Chains A and B, each alone.
Chain A
């Protein structure tokens, strides 16, 4: 029985190797991942959007992401949007440095004192954003927070930690909606979870399933009834297969 992964926040650092602010993004991201919010965050490697193929893009679609950029070029935010989906939040180190009156950041390999302060401030900002994102419902499709209702937490995974995107994948399932192939992220574990909860195939169950699917996928408003119909069929099939086996 697969677990539905706990909702987490993906951190995408630009890592810009040619400037000290890039070093700040790396160290700030690490601080969040390892110290400040280890159980709520996942690192997403920016280059894996291209080098790692669809699976890695799916990671960033699956999790709300925070882009941490070193400069106004905003490589992490723009590339995440280009190859995956709009980041739920975005921070830029140069902005934080300016806003908080931190001195000039320097030192690619060994940050100066201002750089270390920038790491602390950036990490704290990101950690706050993580908390915000986990408390709110984020719509990737609309690129904004929905109403401020708390997000229903998925079946909790007992314990998890910051980790790298290399070499793994969130289960996906391809279905036909209106004659078009659509890949739905996290559908397999959702089907399994519903079945384990003893939910019988029904229109009500399909509606519940749709609500869960929408957390991880963009479902156009106009297409919701078609999606719900497809999900009803998929769930009935899934349950029937279990019986046959």
Chain B
């Protein structure tokens, strides 16, 4: 199976959380796991765009939500996709309390570090999922978080 793992970040522009989620997603697809992860924009899922729906249907998705409304997770589910793991920026901040993000157009240092920490977590899940995809080992799927 050659499908890349799908990452769907929040697309909110009203709060810093959305920016953190996008920055983390970009870091994963551009730097950390460019060969094994791809980004699917939320707006296309909202529209029901065929290619976006096909992408989430073909591969487990990692969603990154900026707030409790969890748009990314809900939209992947609405689109018929499978959520491999859903991340919430607030929870990541709880695990990294010193990294307080600020800024929407441009993140402060804390926000960038928080995005990096989140990206590392997302990359780890990508690795686990790819392990599952390559080996067909069902045990790995069951051991991955939030299945």
Contacts and interface: CB of A to CB of B under 8 A. Distances in A.
B49, B70, B71 — which one has the most chain A CB atoms within 10 A of its CB? B71
B13 A73 contact: no
Contacts of B78: 50
Contact of A51 (B15, B47, B49, B71): B71
Interface string A45-82: 11111111000000000000000000001011011001
Interface string B44-56: 1111010000000
A14 interface: yes
B75 interface: yes
B41 A15 contact: yes
Given A17-B11, A27-B105, A166 B67 contact: yes
A45 B49 contact: no
B22 interface: yes
Contact of B43 (A15, A33, A52, A166): A15
B66 to A, nearest CB: 9
Interface size on A, as a range, is 35 or more
B44 A75 contact: yes
B22, B41, B75 — which one has the most chain A CB atoms within 10 A of its CB? B41
Given A27-B105, A75-B47, A166-B69, A15 B13 contact: yes
Nearest to B38: A18
A211 B84 CA distance: 51
Contacts of B105: 27, 30-31, 34
A45 B11 CA distance: 8
B22, B49, B75 — which one has the most chain A CB atoms within 10 A of its CB? B22
B9, B14, B23, B25 — which one has the most chain A CB atoms within 10 A of its CB? B14
A17 B25 contact: yes
Nearest to B7: A17
Contacts, number: 104
Given A15-B43, A73-B49, A46 B11 contact: yes
B69 A15 contact: no
B72 interface: yes
B125 interface: no
Interface in B8-60: 9-15, 22-23, 25-26, 30, 39-47, 49
Contacts of A31: 105
Contacts of A48: 69, 71
B104 interface: yes
A109 interface: yes
9 A-B pairs with least C-beta separation:
A164-B14, A47-B71, A15-B11, A75-B43, A51-B71, A51-B74, A17-B41, A14-B43, A75-B47
